[in-house]
Structure 1
Amino acid sequence: MNLASPFSLSIVAITVLALNGLPVGHAMIAGSVLYLLLAGLDMGTVAEQFLNGMYSNYIILAVPLFILAAELMNIGSMTDRLMVFCNAFVGRFRGGLAQVNVLQSIIFAGMSGSAIADAAGSGKIMQNMMTADGKYPASYAAALTAATAVIGPIIPPSIPMIIYALVSDASIGYLFLAGVVPGLLMAGFQMLLVAIHSRTRNFPVEPPTPVRELPGITVRALPALLMPLVLLGGIYSGVTTPTEAAAVAAAYALIISVVLYRSVSFGDFYNSVLASARTTASIGMLIAGALVFNYVVTVENIPQSLSVVLQSWDLSPTGFLILVNIILLLLGCVLEGTTIILVILPVLIPTAQALGIDLVHFGVMCVVNIMLGLVTPPYGLLLFIMVHIAKVPLRDIVRDVLPFLYTMIASLIIITFFPETVLWLPRLFGYQG
């Protein structure tokens, strides 16, 4: 590569600006503008890519709606009722609160689609519950909360899968279905590890909930428990598109919290909308920057060139998937997940297609891999969130999260080498891939 070429200089500009604190989305826009200027191309292409990518793509609208739904759940009493429900069924075992942490993440995964929303909302509650009266070490509770939050973007709905669908043209509905078994697999490994830790570290046993109280607890939590059914039922029955289902989810969360539970004030609602807008703006700017930079990558013919190089290596589909996993695991240590999906995966997708790899399987594998970056040092965004919530040193959380990270890597290996773990459920619903 010519180090003085417009593309090389744009990469340098993006890297320098990002390292100096400019948000990655802004850095990609600036680097792309520099490329267009040096290459003598039309500068209006930047605005054109914004308009074509952001405003003509209906699917992107699902992202802010799912974010809003998660915020509305966290400000209402839906979270508290679901915690009581989970505790009633698994809290009675040794290490019960730790098992509750995993179970509540499975349920919340079917509502929010965001790991950060899970950690910042229900995760904060779990941290307080687990550390009350010194029941669990604060670092272990924080590590477990971070690890279980990873399940959120894998079990549908999933914001990362929506973004992957944007760059791959894969079906969102089938991607959502494909994430169910991998998400449950990861949760199963986590619950097994918690059971082992509970014995070896002598975690406490919570007082069992009387059986006579279970029906009442279930009834009080039922409106919240029905939310995933409303959301996914609308999609797979054909009544709503995924974007419309996201709007229904947000409206449902608002109605349940305000009308039925009566636990949300106008100030709470205003703050949740404001928080959702901030998160959406951050993600939107990242998507905008990636769209412009992807145009630069396309002009430079990078995906096709990389595809030719990889094919010259005569990689088998399995060999390619192993290589992709290694690349993504390394990138996940230093890059934010959305950036990887928007910038790196479009370069790899043509090779995956040329090797006959199913794009739904490939997408779920990549999303699972990238989500591991949320708990992988040194970047590990969920780790930093839990440092803020738990007020414990990062090194202590990293020490306790590593066993969970190893189990998630084991899940990734199964997902990679056994595609049917991903594709079985979509095929049950008519997927022909």
Structure 2
Amino acid sequence: MTLTDPFALSIVAITALAFLGLPIGLSMICGSVLYLWMAGLDMGTAAEQFLNGMYSNYIILAVPLFIFAAEIMNSGSMTERLLRFCNVLVGHFRGGLAQINVVQSLIFAGMSGSAIADAAGSGRMMQAMMTADNRYPPSYAAALTAVTSVVGPILPPSIPMVIYALVSDASIGYLFLGGVLPGLLMVATQMIQVAWDARRHRFPVEERVPMRDIPRITWRAFPTLLMPAILLGCIYSGVTTPTEAAALAAAYAVLVSVVIYRSLSWAEGYAALLTSARTSISIGMMIGGALVFNYVVTIENIPETLRTSLTGMDFSPLGFLLMVNIILLVLGCVLEGTAILLIIVPVFIPTAQALGIDLVHFGVVVVLNIMLGLVTPPYGLLLFIMTAISGAPLRDIVRDCLPFLAWMVICLALITLFPGIVLWLPRLAGYGG
């Protein structure tokens, strides 16, 4: 490949446009059109790939529906009631508010599938609660909110896993199940770190909720707590597909917020709809651009060439997984996660299959890698969100994130070395991988 090669020039064009500020989805479309023009191919193929890919993939519908469900929960009082319930569970421990932050992310993960929705919604409330009366340093509260939000896309449902299923043809249901034990492992390590920090820094102990108030708080939160059970029960019982379950989640969030809690006004509902539409359009353009660029990659036969090269290097499955982990961890520091899923990961999938690596295991490893990228500088999106919410300096938030990041790397190493952590639940559900 030379610098005058059409594919090389398309890569240069995509990189240059992205650095100049053009959204990565549009950059990929422009670079792909340039390739088709230089290769003497029909440039209309770009539009054909875009439209066919977007309209023929039923699975893509799950993304805006999960985003809308999360926005409705944050606009109504569902998140607030969830936090009160978590206070009953762990609020009376030392560092109780920090433990509440971890537990609410565990429960919220079963509803939204989005780390950003978690950080921007319940994370905003947790930041205010933790920093009130100087209970916790703003940077620690922001760092904890960022790292706990990462759990959302590991536990089902998960928008990144939906996108991975789109590019790999792996089963969404089994991917969701595969993320359960790794997600719980991450939650456990976060709670351990919080308990250590609480004793070391003597974080305050919150007032215990009176026994007489516990039934009332639990009853008020019950419709919210029922959502993950309904959502996952419908998926794994076969009543709905994951996409239909996403629609059910959105409808249920509206029903609970409007009819049961009566906490969602027309203005708030409209604002939630606009926010979810903007987010969905951004992700949709990225998916569309990746579909066009993947067509170019296919024409160039890049996946097969890479598979042949890696096979010739005599990689073992574990060696290949370690190499992918290193590459994705580095790329996660400078690239957005969805772009990695749509551009980089499809190139590795044929090699993973050739080496006999299970695609569900590979998918969970990949998604956990990408979630690490959300809290690693310089591009960590959750770090930027929490800097804006908290007002704390970015360097202080990064410093307080480091112990949690170390635990996350340990979790990544464990699920890489021991595929059974990922595959145990899917196999119990009948998965043959």
- Give me the TM-score of the superposition, normalised by structure 2: 1.00
The alpha-carbon deviation at position 431 of structure 1 amounts to 0.6
The alpha-carbon deviation at position 403 of structure 1 amounts to 0.7
C-alpha separation in 1, matches of 2:86 and 2:367 = 27
Q: Name which of structure 1's ranges 357-366 and 211-220 shifts more when overlaid on structure 2.
A: 211-220
Query: Is 1:248 aligned to 2:227, yes or no?
Result: no
The alpha-carbon deviation at position 210 of structure 1 amounts to 1.6
The alpha-carbon deviation at position 211 of structure 1 amounts to 2.1
Counterpart for residue 333 of structure 2: 333
% identical equivalent positions: 72
Query: What SS class does the counterpart of residue 200 from structure 1 fall into?
Result: helix
Query: What SS class does the counterpart of residue 156 from structure 1 fall into?
Result: coil
C-alpha separation in 2, matches of 1:21 and 1:379 = 14
Counterpart for residue 8 of structure 1: 8
The alpha-carbon deviation at position 98 of structure 1 amounts to 0.3
C-alpha separation in 2, matches of 1:210 and 1:409 = 39
Counterpart for residue 276 of structure 2: 276
Counterpart for residue 69 of structure 2: 69
Counterpart for residue 151 of structure 2: 151
C-alpha separation in 2, matches of 1:379 and 1:47 = 30
Q: How does 1:140-289 map to 2 (within 5 A)?
A: 140-289=140-289
C-alpha separation in 2, matches of 1:61 and 1:277 = 12
1:132-186 CA deviation, whole Å, 9 max, x = no partner?
0000000000000000000011100000000000000000000001111111100
1:213-255 CA deviation, whole Å, 9 max, x = no partner?
2121111100000000111111111110100000000000000
Query: Is 1:125 aligned to 2:125, yes or no?
Result: yes
The gaps in structure 1 that reach 5 residues or longer are none
Query: What SS class does the counterpart of residue 112 from structure 2 fall into?
Result: coil
C-alpha separation in 2, matches of 1:168 and 1:207 = 49
Query: What SS class does the counterpart of residue 262 from structure 2 fall into?
Result: coil
How many residues of Structure 1 are paired with residues of Structure 2 in the alignment? Answer: 433
C-alpha separation in 2, matches of 1:427 and 1:15 = 41
1:189-222 CA deviation, whole Å, 9 max, x = no partner?
0000000000011100000112222121111100
Q: Name which of structure 1's ranges 39-48 and 110-119 shifts more when overlaid on structure 2.
A: 39-48
C-alpha separation in 2, matches of 1:411 and 1:216 = 37
Query: What SS class does the counterpart of residue 21 from structure 1 fall into?
Result: coil
Counterpart for residue 54 of structure 2: 54
1:94-124 CA deviation, whole Å, 9 max, x = no partner?
0000000000000000000000000000000
1:268-298 CA deviation, whole Å, 9 max, x = no partner?
0000000010000000000000000000011
Code of the residue aligned with 1:368 in structure 2: it is L
Query: What SS class does the counterpart of residue 111 from structure 2 fall into?
Result: coil
C-alpha separation in 2, matches of 1:264 and 1:9 = 50
Query: What SS class does the counterpart of residue 392 from structure 1 fall into?
Result: coil
Counterpart for residue 41 of structure 2: 41
1:394-426 CA deviation, whole Å, 9 max, x = no partner?
001011001111111111011100111100011
Counterpart for residue 31 of structure 1: 31
C-alpha separation in 1, matches of 2:211 and 2:432 = 45
C-alpha separation in 1, matches of 2:239 and 2:276 = 26
C-alpha separation in 1, matches of 2:48 and 2:27 = 18
Moved over 4 A (4+): none
C-alpha separation in 1, matches of 2:131 and 2:424 = 40
- What is the aligned-residue RMSD (CA, Å)? 0.5
The alpha-carbon deviation at position 369 of structure 1 amounts to 0.6
C-alpha separation in 2, matches of 1:401 and 1:343 = 28
